[in-house]
Every structure is written in structure tokens, then in C-alpha cells.
Amino acid sequence: MIIGLTIAGALISAALILCLVRLVQGPGAVDRVVATDVLLSLLVAALAIEAAINQHMHTIPLMVITSMLAFSSTVAMARFVAVRNDLVGRERQDLYPGAVEKTGPIAVVAPEESGEDNS
């Protein structure tokens, strides 16, 4: 069992290093948030391995708090990106009033550009 946990720890360490690389080199904020989310998830996994190796349950509250932090930060960033994209869409609609308007999964074309006669 110790050998399996040691191998799992080594794999998590490699994943942590790759995540840190993405966190530093990420071209955008969304890439960095995803890297942070994965980093926190890997931290939870590392804490679970540590608890399994030492056969104690002292780190469970820390694991729960870390998981909640990862979830909250990801949801907050998703909301920020959604609001930002909505604002960009509104600005684009103001600049190009006849442009295609997205109203969900289906794009609605303005009647002037659809080629239909609405008289």
C-alpha cells in the first residue's frame, strides 16, 4: 500500500509542477484560473495521500476548506467572464445594430438582414 501511495504522490508532484508552469505561462486569465483550480484539487489529493500514509484524519477539515475555495474561485471567475462577454456583446450590438444577436443556443438574425418581407 505504501508503494502505491508513493507512486501516487510522485504523479501528483509531477502534475503540480506542470500546473505551476501553466499558471505562470498561461496566456489568459481563464487559463490561470483553471490551473489554480487544478492546483487546489491536486493539493487536496496530496493531503488525502498524506492522511492515508500517516493513518490520521486531521487534514480532512483542511481538505474540505481547500475544495470549497477551489469551487468558489472557479464559479466567481466564470461569472466574471460571463458578465464581461455580455458587456462586449452589447458594445458590439451598439456598434453594429444589424448584427446577429445571440439569445441562447439559437442565433436570431435581425429581420432586415434575413431577406424576408414583413409587410
* pLDDT for the residue 32: 87
* pLDDT for the residue 115: 54
Confidence of residue 112 (pLDDT cuts 50, 70, 90): low
Residue 80 sits in a domain of what CATH number?
A: 1.10.287
Residue 113 lies in a domain: no
* pLDDT for the residue 10: 94
Residue 114 lies in a domain: no
- How many domains, the chain? 1
How many other β-carbons are positioned within 10 Å of the β-carbon of residue 8? 16
The whole-number average pLDDT for the span 47-52 is 93
* pLDDT for the residue 105: 57
Q: Residues 6 or more apart from 2 whose CB is under 8 A from it? A: 53
| Average pLDDT across the chain, whole number | 81
Residue 109 lies in a domain: no
Calculate the dihedral angle through the C-alpha atoms of 45, 49, 54, 59, rounding to the nearest 10 degrees: 10
Residue 117 lies in a domain: no
Residue 37 lies in a domain: yes
Closest Cα partner for 39 from 64, 69, 10, 61? 69
- Which is more confidently placed, 29 or 15? 15
Domain that holds residue 9: 2-98
- What confidence tens digit (pLDDT) does each residue in 7-19 have? 999 999 999 999 9
Residue 105 lies in a domain: no
Residue 115 lies in a domain: no
* pLDDT for the residue 46: 94
Quick check: 104 pLDDT over 60?
Answer: no
Residue 116 lies in a domain: no
